[in-house]
Structure formats: structure tokens, C-alpha cells
Amino acid sequence: MPIIIEKKKLFTLVLTLDEKNRKILLGMKKRGFGLNKWNGFGGKLEPGETIVQAAYRELEEEAMIQAVDMDKIGINLFTFENDPVALEVHVFRSTEYKGTPTETEEMRPEWFSYDNIPFDTMWPDDRIWFPLFLKGQQFLGEFHFSEDQKRVLEQDLREVSHVPEEYDLTQRKLA
Ligand SMILES: Nc1[nH]c(=O)nc2c1ncn2[C@H]1C[C@H](O)[C@@H](COP(=O)(O)OP(=O)(O)OP(=O)(O)O)O1
């Protein structure tokens, strides 16, 4: 079955690392899309905002910390069975921040050791691209989900030396 995309929506996803102690900050999502999953912090863009501005803002709103660095490390394109709307998630890696991670209405933050990431309670694509992310390798991913969003039906993940501004849909691997 061809995967048809009629429209895409942009999202950010920020993962904060404590590289010295090999820990990653995740948040338990308390409402909305991805409820009851551990995930990075992020969301939709607000009107007039750049992708990187949205990344800083969402980290602050959801985890109450201010990133000092913010490097775009990859883009994941998510599609769903019987849905022509794709989610284009720009993934950022941040290693320094100000403030203290604090629970908000949307997220409960917690640090996890790199060796103990709770993949069973995360989006199922995460275990696939996290190894590249953790070692700082830039990537582009495509993940096609079952309609119930529980299973990855098809995937393509590749290492790149430059992450583009936006995902070029004409270069899709799963089409
Ligand atoms: N398959 C997936 N794997 C993953 O790791 N993160 C995903 C994902 N699909 C979506 N995300 C991320 C992207 C984004 O950070 C978040 C979804 O954003 P939200 O729905 O929280 O957006 P907003 O915070 O703008 O929403 P509201 O605050 O409800 O308006 O989940």
C-alpha cells in the first residue's frame, strides 16, 4: 500500500542530556497526544515562530528549564495507516540548561540512565533512533504506524551529515 501524505504538521522534540553522568531527562505525558508515555519535551509551533524558537519555548513550558544549547540532531517523519496527515518531528539535543526540571500540568520530568531508558513505555520508534541520537549522530527517519499508533509497520532510518531545514517529501524512502 502506498503511503500518501496530503499534509504535514511540524513539531519539536527536545531531549536534554547530562552527558557527564550519562543521563537523559524524559517527561511522563499527563495529557493529550502520547498520554502515559515517557517522551522528550516539545509540541507544535506557534504562529510566527521558528522551529528552534518553538523548541526552547516548549522545553521551558513543559519542564521549566531554559536550554543553553540546542542542536538539531534529526527529523522523524511519522505517518499513520489511513491518515494522510504526516507529523514531521524535529529532534533537538541539549546538554546544558538553567533552572530545575519541575513537574507541570503536561509533564512529570525524571532522569534516566542511558542504560535504563524506559522504551517499553515510550513511542515504539524511539528504541530505533535513540542509539543514533545518544551518540550524537545526525539522522533522518521515517516511521509508518498502524492505525492504533501501537506498532511501527515500516521504517527507514539513515545517518546524515547535515539535517535539512525541513524534510523533503520528494526524497521519502517509504512512499
Ligand atoms: N512517534 C513519536 N515518537 C516520539 O519520540 N515523539 C513523538 C512521536 N510522535 C509525536 N511525538 C512528540 C512530538 C511532540 O514533542 C509531542 C506532541 O506534541 P503535543 O501534542 O504535546 O503538542 P503541544 O504541546 O503543542 O500540544 P498542546 O499543548 O496539547 O497544544 O510528541
pLDDT confidence of residue 175: 84
Phi and psi torsions of 52, nearest 5°: -70, -35
CATH number for the domain harbouring residue 82: 3.90.79.10
Report the pLDDT value the prediction gives residue 1, as an integer from 0 to 100.
74
Residue 85: count of CB within 10 angstroms of its CB: 12
pLDDT at 93 exceeding the cut of 90: yes
This complex has an ipTM of: 0.93
Atom number, ligand 1, closest to the C-alpha of residue 12 = 15
Residue ranges around ligand 1 (CB below 6 Å): 11-13, 32-34, 39, 42-44, 78, 87, 89, 123, 125-126
Do the domain assignments include residue 144?
yes
What's the mean pLDDT in 151-162? Answer: 98
User: What is the number of structural domains in the chain?
Assistant: 1
Residue 168 domain-assigned (yes or no) = no
Q: Residue 2: inside a domain, yes or no?
A: no
- 35 alpha carbon to ligand 1 midpoint, in Å? 10
Assess if residue 90 is contained within a domain: yes
Q: Does any domain span residue 173?
A: no
Supply the range of the domain harboring residue 36: 7-163
Considering the chain, what is the average pLDDT of its residues?
97
pLDDT band at 103 (very low <50, low <70, confident <90, very high): very high
**88 grid coordinates:** 514531521
Mean pLDDT of 72-81: 98
How many angstroms does the Cα of residue 85 sit away from the middle of ligand 1? 14
Residue 150: which of 121, 107, 118 has the closest Cα?
Answer: 121
Mean pLDDT of 76-101: 98
> Which among 123, 133, 139, 167 is the best mutation to test ligand 1's pocket, defined by most ligand atoms within 8 Å of the CB?
123
| 175 inside domain | no
Average pLDDT over residues 33-52: 97
Question: If you take atom 15 of ligand 1, which residue's CA is the nearest one?
Answer: 42
